[in-house]
Amino acid sequence: MDFGIVLQTDPPASAVVELMRRAERNGFRYGWTFDSAVLWQEPFVIHSRILEHTRDLTVGPMVTNPGTRTWEVTASTFATLNDMYGNRTVCGIGRGDSAMRVAGRRPHTLAALGRAIDVIRDLAEGRETEIEGQPLRIPWVRNGRLPVWMAAYGPKALALAGQKADGFILQLADPYLTEWMVRAVRTAAADAGRDPGSVTVCVAAPAYVGDDLAHAREQCRWFGGMVGNHVADLVSRYGEHSDAVPEALTAYIKERHGYDYGHHGRAGNPSADFVPDEIVDRFCLLGPPRAHIDRLRALRDLGVDQFAVYAMHDAKEATVDAYGAEVIPALHA
């Protein structure tokens, strides 16, 4: 199992770069950042510094979207980073949540997302494609490679990930839901004539190492609120009780009342007060190292290839170090 770290690009950027370096020293192989250029600093500028100051770390957004930059700009940005640092980027992409809604726009349709996946990958890897009827190719790309991993929860999005994406990003660490969603992605891949095993599976969730579970829950409760944004979209589309979406995912948002993006992804987010302890425990990894190891082994058995640690709490460095000392070696044994 590979390991990644996910950070917000809060200033100063030097602190983000340093924590990425610390993660690489501790055995993490992927460095991810949020991509919402109003709420945080522009990630791709910081990605360049991360790549410069690490040796082998693969770097990318978790996640970008088809709307805040034109597709050729996104592709050219990845291709430039790869030309400078040697094919060490990955494009995590989704419909767009905070980046779009903060700017007063709706997340994109799945049709647009599917087209964007193809266009961005083709351009970044030097192939000709078409945008709005215009043939287009980036002529200076040589031997470019850009895996595109798609974030998804709902049945249509899971199907699209299986049909088109190189990887699937699931932003929660509940084994039951992981099994359900990985099965959906791999079934869609097989139905599309692809090798289901070729789709990399990345589970991303907060991890907090320590014995004080009450404190860890309060530091990570924000995640249930963030996931709740996507769940609310699913409920509005499919209803509260639908065979298309597991009740284990949707039931907890009944007490949800709006969301303030000013606290997005941050410990103490008041918009996450509806999230019960049970959801925090199911969606996140909390407790001593052994609890993390046991959950991660269960996820690995379900086909998870990477666990990406959301490190937005008051123990970033301690959690990274604990993973490097105990958790990552146990999963590599």
Quickly count: other Cβ atoms within 10 Å of residue 78's Cβ: 30
Q: For residue 210, give the 3-state DSSP assignment.
A: coil
**pLDDT tens-digit map of 276-328:** 999 999 999 999 999 999 999 999 999 999 999 999 999 999 999 999 999 99
Say which residues have a Cβ less than 8 Å from residue 143's Cβ, sequence separation at least 6.
87, 126
* pLDDT value at residue 201: 98
* pLDDT value at residue 255: 80
**pLDDT tens-digit map of 217-264:** 999 999 998 898 778 878 878 877 677 889 899 889 988 877 777 778
Tell me what percent of the residues of the chain surpass a pLDDT of 70.
100
Exposure string for 38-47, b = 16+ CB within 10 A, e = fewer: ebbbebbebb
* pLDDT value at residue 263: 75
Distances in whole angstroms, Cα of residue 239 to Cα of each of 96, 184, 243, 250, 251 = 21, 19, 10, 9, 11
- Residue-averaged pLDDT of the chain: 94
What element of type H or E holds 65? none
**pLDDT tens-digit map of 55-73:** 999 999 999 999 999 999 9
